[in-house]
A and B are shown apart, each in its own frame.
Chain A
């Protein structure tokens, strides 16, 4: 069994590197021919589904080192379910683009899955924050809360306020508010365990998760902004932030497994 695990150690690196290479091709280069453009659009859709699935594999890997009933197992399990939910949403989004005849299916049925994924991620990090709360000083708690609040206010002033003040539908307004709000508060929620475990290897795992949250928050704000002004496309470079966010979450999961095993 140990041999098997050692033999498969390369898998996380291969998965993350593979998705990163695909994303780099899809979002990093200008297409010169129609064929290239088609390939980029196909790749962009595939990568958006693959990235959360790889992240889910990382989160599932983390759950394997816990015993039933361990609370952190619940944290990583919820993260895995959240990423799978996101992948389903992204597959629906791509389906509606390619076969539904809608360039940007927003809002659509996919948003139910995106919103669900965010709620699950928030629930997972809330459990972790609750676990580490006794390890945080009051000043740290206040600083984290302040960070979330300042980030949200900045996002609200520069991105959300124009949308909320416009003639957008209530569903559009609600989604525009929900995605960045949840994502922005995921950042301090990821930093809380990093602070609680400071000095230990686990702190770096949670720093990675916090970085993932930064990418997801930036992507959410960018998505809200671009869809509102009609500038969004599936090969827009803002999509690389989703991929980066999920890759970092996946790396966090794989890393957490390694940290838990190598005591």
Chain B
């Protein structure tokens, strides 16, 4: 089973990555895990300092078990909090951090619980069995890219990751974003027709779904999100519209919808 996990990790590392080879001392593991879990990203956070390497699996909106491998061979399987702490320790020692796309679910499912794990040679938190993370096939993974091959591509991937992490920052927004977005959708249908409006609605549903919300074209449900997160939702939802009708049109549309919603609220007040 040791070899199976080792092979699985190697296989995952050869696959697509959100980012790869980031100096570990720049990574805030708590926020990274929270962000990936919040986006329902199915994959693993990997860190290595040469002597020790580990991966913390994230799926279904939460962190699962973590696997660690020593250069000499022994293996450990840790629950999420302990795994995250050990990954952070590897990172602090100058390790490199990567985020890879999920392993094939059937391979994860085939793993035995951690009863076979060998104790690591260095002190580590208590070892216990943790259920393997489920990885549904239909989880949206919009931002995943191949491993950046150039410094520019790596910088772009990092910028995207940092922007995504900023999603989690700040107090919940007090602006009526669901009403504004519905107004945008309505005005878009009036100006550019039902097709583009439907494309906006689909992109909006994807953007909200990745943050624990939902949209069905007529209603929007979302957890309390900070202003930055709503801005990102708007950007993601408006992307197909901006591609066709232009950035200036999208900006005017959003501004007009905001004004209309504000006026309606003032009217009600």
A residues lining the B interface (CB < 8 Å)? 65-67, 69-73, 131-132, 134-135, 196-203, 259-261, 263
Contact = CB atoms under 8 A, between A and B. Distances in A.
Interface of B: 187-197, 199, 242-249, 251-253, 256
B190 A200 contact: yes
A261 B187 CA distance: 12
Q: Helix, strand, loop or mixed for chain A's interface?
A: helix
A221 B248 CA distance: 39
28 contacts: A65-B248, A65-B249, A66-B248, A70-B247, A71-B243, A72-B244, A131-B243, A131-B244, A132-B244, A134-B199, A135-B193, A135-B195, A135-B199, A135-B244, A196-B193, A196-B195, A197-B192, A198-B193, A199-B194, A200-B193, A200-B196, A201-B190, A201-B191, A201-B192, A260-B246, A260-B252, A261-B252, A263-B256
B248 A200 contact: no
Q: Which 4 A-B pairs have the closest CB atoms?
A: A70-B246, A200-B193, A67-B248, A197-B193
Given A200-B196, A263-B253, A263-B256, A67 B191 contact: no
Contact of A199 (B189, B252, B256): B189
Contacts of B247: 67, 69-70
B189 A67 contact: no
Interface centre among B188, B189, B247 (most CB of A within 10 A): B247
Nearest to A262: B191
B187 A263 contact: yes
Q: Helix, strand, loop or mixed for chain B's interface?
A: helix
A200 B249 contact: no
B192 A200 contact: yes
Contacts of B249: 65-66, 70, 260, 263
Contacts of B193: 135, 196-200, 202-203
Given A66-B249, A196-B196, 14 more contacts: A70-B242, A70-B245, A131-B244, A134-B199, A135-B193, A196-B195, A198-B194, A201-B190, A202-B192, A260-B245, A260-B246, A260-B249, A260-B252, A263-B253
A70 to B, nearest CB: 3
Contacts of A134: 199
A238 to B, nearest CB: 35
